Amino acid sequence: MQEVTGYKSIALDIAQRIVSGEFPVQSKISGRSLLASQYHVSPETIRKAIGLLKDENIVFVSQGKEIVIVSDQNAFDYITRNNYLKSVYSLKQELQLLLVHKKEIDTKFEVLLTGIINASDRLQNLKPYHPVEIKVTNISHVVGKTIANLQFWQNTGATIVALRRGTQVSISPGPHVILREDDVLVVVGDGQVQERTERFLNIPLQEE
């Protein structure tokens, strides 16, 4: 379906709002300047849109420029003729499909996350790249700083594969994540990665 743009699109949207009951019959629509600010277009564009609705006997425009809703049935006929209802229905269908897809992705993410956390427990004795969990204390100099600013990998040789914050878990947190007190970092590295990382994290703020 060809996209409807400009004042025609606005006319169809106003007609849809009339059909939905947002603008009841015999009610008055806001002045053109207010409608222009709502739709972020010029008053002239609104004038053309209202002109279309007037020609369809959907609204009445008085000499004082008051816009009065006169027929929701004509509004319904207008949007039906222009396939507007079909467009709205298609968008709703697409949204429903996206929500289903999002749920599937969330489920896969939970499975993957559970696997990583379980692996963290099972692989403690594997070297050199076994994941270890290290907690950020309240006196650590890293609190309030980003991973990038800390040059975390350069100072520890550790790669952060996950970050636990309360009940939330972030997989492969980005360099701009700000570390907080009680964060638990899941890191991997060589056989000395835990010692180096704990030593780095436990540097008190005043010794930085």
pLDDT higher for 146 or 100? 146
Answer yes or no: is pLDDT of 57 > 90.
yes
What is the model's pLDDT at position 2? 35
pLDDT in tens, 2-49: 334 578 888 888 888 888 888 899 998 876 656 767 788 888 888 888
In this prediction the pTM is 0.41
The mean pLDDT of 64-85, rounded to a whole number, is 85
Give the Cα separation of 204 and 159 in Å (integer). Answer: 22
pLDDT in tens, 149-195: 889 888 888 888 888 888 788 887 888 889 999 999 888 887 788 88
Q: Among the residues of the chain, which ranges form H helices?
A: 6-19, 32-39, 43-55, 72-81, 84-122, 152-156, 193-201
Tell me the one-letter amino acid at 131: P
